[in-house]
Chains A and B, each alone.
Chain A
Amino acid sequence: MNKSIAAFIVVAAGIALTPWVADNYYVKLATFVAMYGALALSWNFIGGYTGYPSFATAAFIGLGSYAGALFQNAGVPLILAWLLAGVVTAAFAAVLGFAILRVKGHYFAVGSISVVEVLRLIASSWSGLTGGGDGLNVKILQGGADYAGRVFLFAMLAVMIATFAVTVWVERSRFGFGLKAIKQNEDAANMVGVNVSAYKIGAFTLSAVFCGITGAVYASWIAYIAPVDAFSILTTLKVPVMALLGGEGTIFGPVLGALVFVILEESIWARFLEANQAILGLTIVVLIFFLPGGLLRIDYRRIGRRLGMGRSGATGGAGGTAGTAGTSATSATSTGGTGGTGSNKDGRDA
């Protein structure tokens, strides 16, 4: 737990320092890391802790970006507009959660994806409010590229830190304990007195509020939003994938996943524009088959030992054991970040 927090502080400090040590390209990258970090941490509340396969992330981002843009264009000050967008998104998620959290598993997954589609279709056809398919222009922040870059970097970073702080609180609180109980066995949790529906709606709302704020900040940053980008099916998949990549249900995993994902995306996939999606798809397939528990749940010491033994030509049986250990760690709900903390250091280097 403490190691996870320390690792997070290192990442956050690294992001905060970029404007002083690197040029605007890296500032943009760092902003993306903070943004996806906040989104993946948000998804973690419902998908990681509660075990509900939510694919509604893009719905919250899109709603937040439209709400933020509309508030801002109506003359609301920047930061207030962002916070109000969070409030709107949270209210929407609470109502939506009341409706669709009654169903589990596959039905929930399909329902949550459909919400993205419905909102996108509404945003496209309600042209009086949203500008329809033409999109919506947002006021560009004055003060030059350097200044604007820093403003949005620190805004995204602030959202990520806030999301992380809430995650730490959830991890330690009775609420988080209840969510983990729901993940393991919802009926049993209900039986021992967890207010299951309130907890689930709470987790769903938490997972929405920071997505909404992130969306609003993103809209101000890009200064233009359109239905297809705001409610992107690709984003709705990318965010859970990041959380899975780092290790879902841990406190540092989603941030690590976002960091690794953005680095991979910029360094490898961006070079193959035509096959960009296919490579992302392939990454997902590889992730699912070879990294089922995410980067944080790999036992790096064991791999190190195995490599050492491999060189000296000793027993090769350890490979199979490492693989199964990773798989079983996914099904067994780890209590807290303990499963991951031991290997944080190595994880960040990956």
Chain B
Amino acid sequence: MLTLQILANGLVLGGLYACIAAGFSLVWGVLNVINMLHGSLIIFAGYLTYFAWANVQIHPLVSLLAVTGLMFLFGYVLQYLLINRVVKRPVLTTLTLTFGLDMMLYNFMNVVFEATPRRVTLNWGSVSLGDIVLPMDRLVAMALAFTLTGVLYAVMRASKAGRAIVAVRMDSDAAALMGIRIPRVYAMTFGIGAGMAGACGVLFAVAFPVTTNVSGLLLGKAFVVCVIGGLGSVPGALLGGLALGLIESFGGHWFGPQNAITLGFVLMLLLLMVRPTGLLGIKGYE
């Protein structure tokens, strides 16, 4: 029965990880930019949600849409004005740039919000199914995480913007010849990545305490999930996220919780050696 509980915990974590990594993976896959801001964007959105809830009594599920939209705009503008200028340069440049931007946002949050952990407490109680007990807020967060990942998949498959992004990912030169405006698609992609980060931040604030200290940790999760699942595909992020959630959940049980994170990283490094394209291999957003 303990096994079932661990499995359930792993799935809850996995859902959130998949959601965290989906946007990161999209940006990495399409723009070839490792977005070091991703963790801080999640935390920033988490703080926005918390303050909207604590100060103006806006329910997190209501602010989900607004925060996502806001983060999308932020990402769009950031990419359009700043990152687009160096997007073709080597990874050293783009990674260092986003790292620099991350330091600014991180510092800003530390000063303005302070690092005190804050959490939206909804008092929804918990659900028990047989011997498995899960807090309701985490369950809702997981369900929403899966839904959002599904929505992203649908957007990529069906919408015009999504098809343009996939086309740019496949062959940006050919896409440009077909009349796609590459800088806008890049900005759109980064915006979607930031928007996904924003949505994750809202879910995160509902299920876990928000503090700036975990932004690096969340970024690390995105790395691991991307390498496990492969880049630039929603199914890859989903598979990688679930895999990491289960690995951490079971690994934490067997080797102690402090070693669970190490286990994920070590597996990632091993996977980099033998199969750097991820378990699903390189595929587009089809």
Contact = CB atoms under 8 A, between A and B. Distances in A.
A in complex with B: yes
B53 interface: no
A171 interface: no
Interface string B203-219: 00000000000001000
8 contacts: A102-B273, A102-B276, A117-B265, A118-B269, A237-B96, A278-B107, A280-B103, A282-B104
A284 B103 CA distance: 10
B116 interface: no
A197 interface: no
B80 interface: no
A274 interface: yes
Interface in A108-139: 109-111, 113-115, 117-118, 121-122, 124-125
B269 A106 contact: no
Contacts of B123: none
A109 B34 contact: yes
Nearest to A248: B92
B265 A53 contact: no
Interface residues of B, number: 43
Given A106-B91, A111-B268, A121-B258, 18 more contacts: A53-B91, A106-B28, A107-B227, A109-B92, A110-B227, A114-B220, A114-B269, A117-B265, A121-B259, A125-B256, A125-B262, A277-B104, A277-B107, A278-B107, A281-B99, A284-B99, A285-B97, A292-B89
Nearest to A241: B96
A275 B107 contact: yes
A244 interface: yes
A53 B92 contact: yes
Contacts of B220: 114, 117
B75 to A, nearest CB: 16
A284 B99 CA distance: 9
A210 B256 CA distance: 35
A283 B266 CA distance: 33
Given A240-B96, A289-B86, A118 B108 contact: no
Interface in B157-186: none
B272 A111 contact: yes
B96 A121 contact: no
Most A C-beta atoms less than 10 A away, residue of B95, B106, B226: B95
Contacts of A121: 258-259, 261-262, 265
Nearest to A47: B92
